[in-house]
Structure 1
């Protein structure tokens, strides 16, 4: 019997689909430190025309942009640990940065699973977890200042050996990545690479060519820049992450000559404590606030510009070497960040600017271009999804779930409608009260508990900027009851339904430090807080 053209075409399409499924894709996971959606022009916002990010925008144009990817614990190290393990802080043991200990390298991480399944694996840039990376054939990570690294002439640990490099860190990390793609890997096997930039982390040191990029203009101010924290006085209103807490180093003051040791540090970090205001003489308080913001935002966005340039370098390399079609590119951050929103810098809160992570995925032929997704996804979902995209079956149990089907345009009917958040660190750094909460599409409910006992509720439809705490509004009493029931359910689901006293023990506990005490820069805490 002859086969019709229609049947033949259908059979060919099915065979091509099966063949494509059998080919394991390459994966490049790009994570910038403290990069936020407000700084990416594909997400819109007040900087999109002044400080566009064309290369990151290209990823969004050729892939899927996610609007509601959320961080389970919005601080660098704990977020990275959750991404690697697919588990909350209470499961992976890495709760906080300050006295947070070292990441337990004996536990499973997704790079190990890729390596076990025949992938060539590599890591370049920032690691910041204190212990030697596992599951990588090659790595070269920042290994100074407690693994924070330096922008200029940084020290990297290359496969176990410290090497001081010359140049700008964002460019250098990309150099190492491209060199590995070109000559460090075997061409016949798929690869999975983590490219993790230090930028745009504090102290926001731009590449030389961008230092004066916006010198002659006044950057716009976020709508909530002059937030007075009414109704949130003991939470948002009692932090050390407002525009008043920038140091001389942050503001790029020129250091006096002949300072040594602790004198240098005390001078550089003046401004990071209460009543240590850094600003030119003669300015009013509000003028000084605006001046500090202008310095900060221009430096931050200049650092982002170099990140965007280097994303472009990666895209160009893939195009030039016929790797684009079978390479998944993920662009994300370890959490969001405040760019003067609510008068803040830094992160930590369950509030939107720090909770929401930029997340963009490009995967030609699989992920439809120019698509936007608004499902609730969290950073514990990254690991199972990457493994699923690579067609790797694992017996490892993870709290996160794969959202591969969402990337393909199909959201499961039973997909999560809410997420659980928990931040533990206090008082260092920035004096943000530990809190946990639930975030749905329409509401944020949070409980602040360390030395206060306060709840907050925000209606995200009516109050997307979260200026009005409506916890005492009788009209929302049923909503509050329902959200608290959901929150309790999530805390039980993720095995973190402890008492407040037990949570406070975690905050107080000294898990150790990833800091090398011989590293002078990292003894700053002692200087800043001595009487």
Structure 2
């Protein structure tokens, strides 16, 4: 005989309460449900070395984490907090480590040579459908503030006519690394001018209201407050820490007394491959610690403004329903290998921050080590929001890696390339290995685990043969699928044929 328990009114009330709590928790665990679309806030910096972020230093060995000295680093608690409650991607690369092509891949999910923006100052093709356009069509309020660099040579060129999905682009400017902005009766303008009255990169009298990073962050906050009651997607594009290495007070002196030394590879330029020759405009013969002190100051100013924005999300009860992304367009070698800036496949140039906090979707403390690049961002973001990416998308959906579900079919390889349609170099990168082919010399193969400074070419090491063959075949596969002109070149084709052979 089955004996059923007697349920009195008190027990029934408790059971109802438990059921309600369970439902609420379940819904909270799936924050991106159809009746409550998630907001999107993307904070993108420019020319940002990943080692300046505390959350990335935690993933590195000390000699890599503190490349400029054991006591030479920046505290980035706000950006680090995003990594703690979301995911940090430790092998995320600029598809092409130059401003325009990297951004083109980021917004479109297509390789640069298919966007029109294959090198700096080349405008996006009119038919490009960005992730913002997909969200706009689906009812999102969309906006953009900061550097765009996808509408040709215009400089600063406020509010480009072609919006590519960003409806409110009043504070979007096409090019430049201005330090001082103002709001006038005629709209935004550069606040510093030279002796001829032309817009200048000078910091001038910029303060916490007019310095570029602060001013742009305030525009993002204005938009968030205005659209707090509807789904929104906002892109904040900060032109720092790209040069010129200048910043407003007190950040301009905050790191002045810090002992900053050159990276270990600074004086080892004889080891550089020809694709990173120690000659040219990005090469430096003398280490300048004051440049790094200013660079650190720019990063700290960025972090303080990220904190300001996150506080507003908390204030408006939007934190739990907002995907927050922190990333950059490409890196800066910051004196590694005797060079500044970007444009080559070295880690400091091509590897960039990618941090995504998505409550209810990405578990806290997630670390994704598989290699990804900017071309993978748009399809991944749209998938996380339950949206279909445009059929012409070439990037990969990495949402399963971020959410912890895994992808048994995933290939740990990202393809990155030089800018422009004329072949220069192309690389296949995994979490551990990097194969670089170029028109200037023999192939290079790095083991990033054993040689994180990228000094040893293991291309002729018999133990590397199998991995080199695999990466070469991935490049061949990429050429076939993406019709990549980087590899439609006799020398590169010959190298691929030799390296991929059994």
- TM bracket (short chain): 0.7 to 0.9
The structural deviation recorded for 1:16 is 6.3
CA shift in 2, pair 1:445/1:16, >3 Å: closer
Q: Which structure ranks higher in relative contact order (CA pairs < 8 Å, sequence separation ≥ 6)? A: 1
Deviations 1:119-159 (A, max 9, x none): 0001011111126332122123454xx6114112469999x
Aligned counterparts of 2:462 and 2:272: Cα–Cα separation in 1: 16
CA contact (8 A) 1:224 1:465 kept: yes
CA contact (8 A) 2:41 2:235 kept: yes
User: Which residue of the partner structure matches residue 86 of structure 2?
Assistant: 63
Aligned counterparts of 1:434 and 1:472: Cα–Cα separation in 2: 22
Aligned counterparts of 2:177 and 2:416: Cα–Cα separation in 1: 28
User: Which residue of the partner structure matches residue 241 of structure 2?
Assistant: 200
Report SS of the residue matched to 1:454. coil
The structural deviation recorded for 1:194 is 0.2
Q: 1:151 aligns with which of 170, 174, 179?
A: 179
Matched, 1:320 2:343: no
Q: 1:459 aligns with which of 425, 435, 447?
A: 447
Matched, 1:310 2:331: no
Q: 2:479 aligns with which of 482, 491, 509?
A: 491
Deviations 1:171-196 (A, max 9, x none): 1101111112223x3x4320000011
CA contact (8 A) 1:142 1:148 kept: no
User: Which residue of the partner structure matches residue 145 of structure 2?
Assistant: 124
Aligned counterparts of 1:157 and 1:437: Cα–Cα separation in 2: 49
User: Which residue of the partner structure matches residue 21 of structure 1?
Assistant: 33
User: Which residue of the partner structure matches residue 136 of structure 1?
Assistant: 166
CA contact (8 A) 1:78 1:96 kept: yes
CA shift in 2, pair 1:363/1:496, >3 Å: same
The structural deviation recorded for 1:306 is 0.9
CA shift in 2, pair 1:176/1:16, >3 Å: closer
Deviations 1:189-221 (A, max 9, x none): 200000110111111211121112222232133
Q: Give the number of equivalent residue pairs.
A: 443
User: Which residue of the partner structure matches residue 263 of structure 1?
Assistant: none
User: Which residue of the partner structure matches residue 175 of structure 1?
Assistant: 218
**Higher mean Cα deviation, 470-479 or 362-371?**
470-479
Aligned counterparts of 1:333 and 1:162: Cα–Cα separation in 2: 24
CA shift in 2, pair 1:216/1:386, >3 Å: same
CA shift in 2, pair 1:425/1:391, >3 Å: closer
User: Which residue of the partner structure matches residue 163 of structure 1?
Assistant: 189
CA contact (8 A) 2:366 2:402 kept: no
Deviations 1:265-324 (A, max 9, x none): xxxxxxxxxxxxxxxxxxxxxxxx13x2x0211111111111111101100101111111
Query: CA-atom RMSD, angstroms?
Result: 3.1
Aligned counterparts of 1:482 and 1:394: Cα–Cα separation in 2: 29
The structural deviation recorded for 1:355 is 1.9
CA shift in 2, pair 1:153/1:190, >3 Å: closer
The structural deviation recorded for 1:10 is 11
User: Which residue of the partner structure matches residue 369 of structure 2?
Assistant: 374
Report SS of the residue matched to 1:178. helix
Runs of at least 4 residues off by over 4 Å: 1-11, 13-20, 154-158
Aligned counterparts of 1:318 and 1:17: Cα–Cα separation in 2: 19
- Aligned ranges for residues 239-278 of structure 1 at < 5 Å? 239-244=280-285
CA contact (8 A) 1:74 1:349 kept: yes
Q: Structure 1 stretches of 5 or more lacking a match? A: 245-288, 428-432, 504-531
Aligned counterparts of 1:237 and 1:469: Cα–Cα separation in 2: 17
CA contact (8 A) 2:448 2:454 kept: yes
User: Which residue of the partner structure matches residue 515 of structure 1?
Assistant: none
**Higher mean Cα deviation, 329-338 or 367-376?**
367-376
Aligned counterparts of 1:352 and 1:231: Cα–Cα separation in 2: 13
- Aligned ranges for residues 442-453 of structure 1 at < 5 Å? 442-449=432-439, 452-453=440-441
Give TM-score, length-normalised by structure 2. Answer: 0.80
CA contact (8 A) 2:370 2:413 kept: no
Aligned counterparts of 1:438 and 1:157: Cα–Cα separation in 2: 50
User: Which residue of the partner structure matches residue 105 of structure 1?
Assistant: 126
